[in-house]
Every structure is written in structure tokens, then in C-alpha cells.
Amino acid sequence: MRIAVFSTQSYDREYLQRFNPGFVLDFFEVALEPHTVGLAAGAGVVCVFVNDNLNAAVINALRDMGVRLIALRCAGFNQVDLAAALAAGIPVVRVPAYSPYAVAEHAVALILTLNRKTHKAFNRVREGNFSLDRLTGFDLHGKTVGVVGTGKIGQAFCHIMLGFGCRVLAFDLVADRDLEAAGVVYASLMEVLESTEIVSLHCPLNAQTRHIINSGSLARMKKGAMLINTSRGGLVETAAVIESLKNGHLGYLGLDVYEQEEKLFFADHSEKLIDDEQILRLISFPNVIITAHQGFFTDEALTAIAKTTMENIRCFTAEEPLLNRV
């Protein structure tokens, strides 16, 4: 079985080859989209990541080439036209959980860095500046933290925040009894936004959650509050957060995902002009930290992603039940 692997990075090669049970892997650095879909010719499976574009045109082209399975090496599937895949008769499988701790811990790293300004202190000390001016932070202990989405990653994040001595309010369509027993209080989305000093997003991107953070919801947040997004870029309306930062209402912003990240992330643009005014504006704020979708990037997570992806494909070729079918 030949597998066409798109959006390949060096670590994809390393981990997928390490756990490959014997498939032929063809790696392509380019993303899967309409003008690159021809690279999948002769493959029975395409293996894709978060910024590949599997719209109806791409899926129909894959069907016509004989591709029989779409294997996502990620949890999210908003980049796939599932109706088109169903009509084409191509199953879609994913990695529903790899290491929820990896993403949850990265969210905490963003919080701590924004709060205690360790990135600024690091640069100062390297330049011989040992002043503490403008490095004032706040105690996390005793603060109220809002969590939007309490799936596996949200659950892990809640437990970490409880460990810091925070009060945790959460919003989800279904309350988690174990979290409630641990001390998490479920509330409406508006109550979470209005009552917390830190809001962290851990929900999937779909029609209901797109731009869940917009000018209206930002206005409901406390003045000076911190917003963290390690989930999907489309949850946040970029123009709205820029305006909220400009007028001083939003106090801090930490992003590991970005609404237009498919044009930027997972590539080196250091020798180019970045043609994205919104991200350039975000980078200019002293109270904003952006990382390039690295929340998942731990050895444990990469190992789990590769193992599950290969097992999904093995099950398909062996005509066994697809436990991780979308």
C-alpha cells in the first residue's frame, strides 16, 4: 500500500517511519490542495495534517485517482469536507487523542510567560540589564480561570489550574462529573467570559464555534483579562482581538494557532516579507505571544500520533473496524 504524506516536516518522516509496519511512504513537503492533489496519483491512502485542504474538489480528485482512505494525523477535522468524503465513499480517520497534556501544558506556558514576562527578562539579562522595571506579574493562586471546552485537553488544563490554586469555571455542552467532583464549576459561556481573569479555549472548530471570540464576547470579558487559544485559529476573530488590544480592554493574548495560519505556520519565512498585516500587528503588541502551533510538539505526542495513524491505516487495509473514523 502506497501512502502519500502531505505537509511533511522532518519529524513526520522520523516518527512515521519509526512506526511504519511496512507501507510505502511517499513524503511531500507541500500541503494537499487543488493544485497539488496530482501528487497522490497511485496512492491508496493520503495522510494529511491540520492545514491541508480537503474540499469537495480535492476529495473528488482523490476518488478518481483511486485513493481509498483519508488518514488525518491530528484530532481536528474541520479541514475536511465530510459530506463530500461520504459521497465519494472515502472513509476519514483521525487521531482523537495523542497527548492532551502536551497542549494543556503549552497553554499554561503561554499564561506564565505572558504573566511573569520571562521572555522579556531573558532578553534583558542577556543584554546585561538586570532591572525589574515593567516586569510586574500577578499571582495565579486565587484567580478565576475560564475554560471553554472540557474534552481531554480541557480536562487536563482544568486539573493543572486547580493545582495552581485557581477557581475554575468551565463551559461545555455536557458537564464532566469528574471535573465537577474535583472542584470545577460549570456555567454559561457568558458567565465564564464575564467572571474570569483568564480564558483558555479548548473546543473544536465548527459552525457553532467559529469566531466564538468576537467583538461582542470580548466586550463581555473583564478589562485586562488574558485570552489563550491553543485549539483552532478560527475560534478567534483576529480583527476583533486586535481592536480590543488597541483600546486596552484585552490585557493579554497568547496564541498557538492563528486564523490564517495555513499561509505561515510550519515554514521558515525569516528571509521573506510576510504579507499578513494582521499577524504583523499582533506581533507588534508587547502583551501578545504567538507560537507556531507547537502545543502538540512533544515526543510523547508525536509517538502517539504516528502509532495511531499507522494503526488506523493497518486496520483499513486489514478490513478491521475503523475505531477512529470521523
Contact in structure between 32 and 53 (CB atoms under 8 Å) = yes
**The residue type at 187:** A
Instruction: Quote the CA–CA distance of 46 and 230 in Å, as a whole number.
Output: 26
pTM value surpassing 0.85: yes
Nearest CA among 46, 78, 14, 13 for reference residue 261: 78
Q: Alpha carbon of 68 to those of 10, 92, 171, 238, 273: distances in Å? A: 26, 9, 38, 37, 39
- Which residues 6+ apart lie within 8 Å of 237 measured at CB? 211, 213, 214, 215, 259
pLDDT for 85: 98
pLDDT for 97: 84
Confidence of residue 227 (pLDDT cuts 50, 70, 90): very high
Beta strands in 60-187 (DSSP E): 69-72, 92-93, 144-148, 167-171, 185-186
In tens, the pLDDT along 77-111 reads: 989 999 999 999 999 999 998 889 999 999 999 99
In tens, the pLDDT along 104-125 reads: 999 999 999 999 999 999 999 9
pLDDT for 210: 96
Nearest CA among 110, 185, 170 for reference residue 140: 110
In tens, the pLDDT along 284-319 reads: 999 999 999 999 999 999 999 999 999 999 999 999
The set of catalytic residues is 232, 261
- Asked if pLDDT for residue 76 goes beyond 90, the answer is no
Instruction: Quote the CA–CA distance of 69 and 313 in Å, as a whole number.
Output: 8
- Higher-pLDDT residue of 57, 262: 57
List, as one string, the DSSP characters of 158-225.
HHHHHHTT-EEEEE-SS--HHHHHHT-EE--HHHHHHH-SEEEE----STTTTTSBSHHHHHHSPTTE
Q: What domains, with CATH codes, occur in the chain?
A: 2-98+299-317 (3.40.50.720), 100-290 (3.40.50.720)
pLDDT for 25: 98
